[in-house]
Structure 1
């Protein structure tokens, strides 16, 4: 019997503040240096909050974040960081959280995550106005295809 997994999306925003029009995303990147977002003053920043938890980080609040439930009970979230890139974080089965990891690309919409089981397709409108896709392989160790139209 195959189990069908559903994607749940809920958008809740908690305000964060910007200092002098620049926001450092070092807290979002986990490892690595901080990056200044030049348009932070124009963007309401928020923590990624879903119905299951507060994932932290600084995402562009107008786009929120999207949660995807994995077959092993873990969850993965996706959002647009203050640098415009698509970022992800996931829970592990032992309850700990990964660091925020950049998936690259540049988005100007909510990141849509749809799929079945381990196979996930992300969809986001790029800064060029086109829809861009990134596909995850259908196994627990599956990798991402990279952004393509």
Structure 2
């Protein structure tokens, strides 16, 4: 189909049409590019324990929360993706990497412990590039842990 389309128009016309279609599609789905922001190196330590090296969007900061007796740290990376690291056990070092939780955020990541069906869970919220708030939760008793998935998010109900 593209070959037939290209036959009737010049390459620059095709390129312009494709760009216009992509931009139009992005606008319909609320996809936007975040404004320019400064990058900061991750803090060297949190709670006296060394963090894995990385970088985040300075203006958005990072969040820490105590869950299951361990410190968890969340931030928006320089690619606007949400990342997480955690202590391997109580009073122990952090894992040696940042794990992607997927999604794209334009706000500080909010993380807190809450209760769901009498179980303690770790709830995480962030404002997406579409302006909506997105949520996920973790309950360490669940294999894989994250709901709806490791990199999936659901719209918040608040």
- TM normalised by structure 2 equals 0.60
How far did 1:139 drift? Answer: 3.0
The correspondence of residues 49-64 of structure 1 with structure 2, limited to 5 A, is: 49=43, 52-53=47-48, 55=51, 56-64=53-61
Which residue is 1:80 aligned to? 76
- TM-score where L is the length of structure 1: 0.63
**Which one has more relative contact order, counting CA pairs under 8 Å at least 6 apart?**
1
Structure 1: runs of 5 or more not aligned: 1-37
Aligned partners of 1:67, 1:141: CA distance in 2, in Å? 23
Secondary structure at 1:62's aligned position in 2?
A: helix
Superposed structure 1 runs of 4+ greater than 4 Å apart: none
* Number of corresponding residues: 110
Higher helix share: 2
1:147 lines up with 2:147 in the alignment: no
CA apart distance, 1:47: 2.9
Q: Which is higher, the Rg of structure 1 or of structure 2?
A: 2
Cα RMSD for the two superposed structures:
2.7
